[in-house]
Amino acid sequence: MQSAIPPPVTQLVEAFSRLPGIGPKTASRLTYFLLRAPDDYSLGLADALAKLKTLTKLCGSCFNITVDDPCPICSAGGRDASTIAVVEEPLDLMAIERTGIYRGRYHVLHGAISPVSGVGPDDLKIRELLQRVAGAGVREVIIATNPGLEGDATAMYLQRELADSGLIVTRLARGLPTGGDLEYVDSVTLMRALEGRS
């Protein structure tokens, strides 16, 4: 049977399918949506994709994604350089920024320690963090890794490495999420909430 699908369509379906959470059906749907949408729509997306890698780099200090090095947060005069929040990913940094209450700086590890996935401390920006906090002016390190197995393993590793540094090392509080219902909270969260009661 001759294929009814032209190669440019197949190629885009395949490219979309490689994205996380997008299966072959969604990839087809997106492709046919773009086929029917105005030209500047798909070309705009193509342009944004091409610029993503060429125009951005990692900040040499905090390793957040940025156009300018150092990034706007590291170069902002109004932010407290003595406090560094350590996060796994740039998206975590943005979640903290959205709260609007944190005025310190960040350090993006670009992952978490995960023996299962073969990610060790040397695969993350941990050496850079230790060098950075050893410099003058840093007072507190807030470990803001994700509240899961890998985030906890990373936090424990960092706490051990920073134990003799003389720095204040804190972690984000664990407990009940605001707006949740006690009935539906998992038992590990509830246990942590009980332990950390105040």
Q: Which residues bind its own copies (CB under 8 A)?
A: 1-9, 11-12, 14-16, 18-22, 26, 28-36, 39, 41-53, 55-56, 64-67, 71-73, 76, 89-91, 93-94, 97, 100, 110
Judged by beta carbon, residue 54 or residue 198, the one nearer its own copies is 54
Q: Which residues are CB-contacts of 57 (< 8 A; sequence separation ≥ 6)?
A: 65, 66, 67, 69
State in angstroms the smallest separation of the CB of 149 from its own copies: 20
Q: What is the rounded distance in angstroms from the CA atom of residue 83 to the CA atom of residue 79? A: 9
End-to-end alpha carbon distance in the chain: 70
Please compute Rg for the chain using Cα positions: 22
Closest CB to its own copies among 113 and 169?
113
Cβ distance to its own copies smaller for residue 10 or 165: 10
Q: Closest CB to its own copies among 17 and 159?
A: 17
Beta bridge partners of 171: 143
Quote the least distance from Cβ 192 to its own copies, whole Å: 25
Give the whole-angstrom CA distance, residue 75 versus residue 73.
5
Nearest approach in angstroms of CB 182 to its own copies is 26
In whole angstroms, the minimum distance from the beta carbon of 169 to its own copies comes to 24
Beta carbon of residue 100, minimum distance to its own copies (angstroms, whole number): 7
Q: How far is the C-alpha of 46 from the C-alpha of 8, rounded, in Å?
A: 14
Q: Whose Cβ is closer to its own copies: residue 81's or residue 167's?
A: 81
Other Cβ atoms closer than 10 A to 167: 16
